[in-house]
Each structure stands twice: as C-alpha cells, then as structure tokens.
Amino acid sequence: MSDKKILVTGGTGYIGSHTVVELINAGYQPLIVDNFSNSSPKILDQLEAITGIRPLNFDFDLCDEKATTNFVNQHPDITGVIHFAAYKAVGESVEKPLKYYHNNFYSLINLLEAFSNKKINFVFSSSCTVYGQPDALPVTENAPVKRAESPYGNTKQIAEEILAEVAVVNKNLRVTALRYFNPVGAHKSALIGELPIGVPQNLVPFITQSAIGKRGFVTVYGNDYDTPDGSCIRDYIHVVDLAKAHVAALNYMENGKSEKSYNVFNIGTGKGSTVLEVINAFEKATGVKLDYKIGARRSGDIEKIYGDVTKSAVELGWKSELDLNEMMRSGWEWEKYIKEHSL
C-alpha cells in the first residue's frame, strides 16, 4: 500500500465506502473519520472482506473543532481529503434547516481551518442539484447555479463558494468539486451498497425495497412531462464509477494537471433515463416484475437533467463504464444481501 494517506470523511457511507475500496485498489491508504450517524460500523468488516485490508476509522464529530484539529495534527502525513461527511436528506433539511446548516458547514470549516497550513488536495462531494432545472441540456459546468430548492441543496452551493474563495487565498490548497448526478447500484461483491434510513427518498432503493416486499407499489410521479414516455429524466451513474472519479480527481491534482486552485466537474454518464426506463431496466436485469402506478406530479421535481461529461473525460481522464442494467442488477443483489443478513 502507498504511503499516501487520504482522509475520507463519511467513509462508511454509501459513496464513501465504495471510494475507500477504490482508493485501496489504487494503492492509497485511506483514513476514515465517521461517527456512524448515518451508517454502520459493520461496513468496516465489509470493507476488509472486499479488500483484505481493514481501514482505520476514527469515531468523532467533525463539528468538534478541537477534535478535528487534534486529529489533523496527529496525522501530518495526510496528503489529500475526500469530504463526504454531511447530512443529505432533502426532506429532512426542509423540516430542520439549522441542523443541516450547522453540521454541513461547521464540519467543512473545521477541516479547512485544521489543514490551513498544510499542502493538501481536497475533493468535495457536491451535487447536480446546484443547477436546478437547467436552461439547456446536457448541462455543462458553465451553466448558472440556480437558487436551491432545499437547505440541503443550499449547503452544497454555499460549500462550493466557501471552497472556491478559500482556495484563492490559501496557496497550499487545491480543490476539485465533483457534481454528482444520481448514484445508484452497489459493489459487485454485494457487500456494500446504499442503506437508506427510513423510507428511501430516491427512486432505485425504493424500487429494490418494493421488489423485495419492504414497501408497497412504486409511484411514478407524473407521466405528462415533455419526455419520451412522460416521466422525469435523470442521469443515473453507477456508484463504483462515481467512486473511481474521486481517485481520478486526486491523481489530477497530485500530477499537477490542474492549473487552477479550484475546479468543478460533472460526474455522470452524459445520458438521461426516464423513470419508466429505469423500472423496465430493473425488470429486465433481475427478472422481477414491479408493481408500479402512475401518480400526480410531485412538487419540486425538475422535469429532466443530464450532464455533459466532456470536461471530466478530457481533464480527469475519467468516464463511466457501467450501464443501467448493471446498476439495477447490483442494486438488487445488495437488497437481497440486506434481507439475508438482516442489515
């Protein structure tokens, strides 16, 4: 394993755990900070089973300034940070905005303060939600950032602004913000995947939970949009492809390819799929028939979004490889694993 130590905050979460696997595969040494507020310590066992290496986890809250500073001082050889740790439920953020602003900003600010005198490459977990409903598709990184629809989305927008401004004045800091589209699927081992708390807010985990009997029918919110079959379009990306994008972002900064102190990249497939296409792909990939019904449009939903990923391909040397069928197949294998092991 490389002596390059990478701090992964929220490293036992959905995207974080997959990224830890890809970091180990690429020869990095990940150090996880996760207080398990939205994940499980069992994921450390799963990571060890997949990679043969048990990553170190440090259980504390990044909103604790003293604990964060002490941790950074105790590990002076950290060369990079991948920052996932944040609350992420859109609905909850509307109900509890201060909870989201406090957690998502204090954790980021404490990290930046703690590393302020150290040379560091920083990868930030951002979101395509910053675009709202784009004026043109596919949306590029140059598209205007629109007013956020939720406090969660607003934390991503403001965090990007904080990072861009700090990177200008802190010459030790290089930042790459990755604007994800819709991550789905699971690792091919079916040992890690998305484990939503409560009723899933996203389509694919609701589909898999419905198929296995945890939920009732799947509601397709609207079939009268200006899309091929009337249902909403999103750009779905396999979580393993997404994880590899973080490794590519680190390499990009380490190898001096980044001329700017702050960069933004779309991370998606560059192709949109409708809700009904996703349902059909799930049925085809798994052989399981879904019970779904057409409902009314849902307030706040945008009609269609998918990304232009040319910049990621050219500058990061990254592109997605796994298709929608594999996203559905792996997500279903993970759902069956959850049931069998009572996770």
Which tokens go with 190? Answer: 């079916």
Q: How many helices and strands, by DSSP H and E, does the chain display?
A: 11, 13
Nearest to 63 by CA among 116, 100, 118: 100
- Write out pLDDT tens, residues 149-185: 899 999 999 999 999 999 999 999 999 999 999 999 9
- Residue 245 resides in a domain: yes
Residues carrying an active site annotation: 152
Residue 67 located in a structural domain: yes
The contacts of residue 226 (CB under 8 Å, 6+ apart) are 303, 304
Judging by beta carbons within 10 Å of its beta carbon (0-12, 13-18, 19+), is residue 293 exposed, middle or buried?
exposed
Q: How many domains does the chain have?
A: 1
**Of 162, 70, 170, which Cα lies nearest the Cα of 124?**
162
Q: Mind spelling out the 3-state secondary structure of 151-198?
A: HHHHHHHHHHHHHHHHHHHCCCEEEEEEEECEEECCCCCCCCCCCCCC
Residue 136 lies in a domain: yes
Output the six-digit token pair for 42: 């069992």
Q: What is the DSSP letter of 297?
A: P
Q: Is residue 294 part of a domain?
A: no
Distance (Å, whole) CA 313 – CA 93:
33
Q: State which amino acid sits at residue 274.
A: T
At residue 320, the pLDDT reads: 98
- Residue 66: what pLDDT? 98
Nearest CA among 325, 276, 292, 288 for reference residue 212: 288
DSSP run (H or E) holding 80: strand 78-83
203 within a domain of the structure (yes/no): no
For residue 201, what pLDDT is reported?
Answer: 82
| pTM, to two decimals | 0.97
285 lies in some domain? no
Q: How far apart are CA 228 and CA 272, in angstroms?
A: 11
**What's at 18, amino acid-wise?**
H
pLDDT of residue 1: 47
How does pLDDT run along the chain (343 residues), one tens digit per residue?
457 999 999 999 999 999 999 999 999 999 999 999 989 999 999 999 999 999 999 999 999 999 999 999 999 999 999 999 999 888 889 999 999 999 999 999 999 999 999 999 999 999 999 999 999 999 999 999 999 889 999 999 999 999 999 999 999 999 999 999 999 999 999 999 999 888 888 899 999 999 999 999 999 999 999 999 999 999 999 999 999 999 999 999 999 888 899 999 999 999 999 999 999 999 999 999 999 999 999 887 889 999 999 999 999 999 999 999 999 999 999 999 999 998 7
How many Cα atoms sit within 13 Å of 102 on the Cβ side?
7
Residue 213 tokens read as 């009997």
pLDDT tens digits, 33-74: 999 998 999 999 999 999 999 999 999 999 999 999 999 999
* Side chain identity at residue 241, one-letter code: D
Q: Does a structural domain hold residue 219? A: no
CB 268 within 8 A of CB 181: yes
Span between the terminal Cα atoms of the chain, in Å: 30
302 domain residue, yes or no: no
| pLDDT of the residue at 273 | 98
What pLDDT is stored for residue 2 in this prediction?
57
pLDDT score for 196: 87
Q: Domain range spanning residue 63?
A: 5-186+236-268+307-321
Question: What's the whole-number average pLDDT of the chain?
Answer: 96
CATH number of the domain within which 260 lies: 3.40.50.720
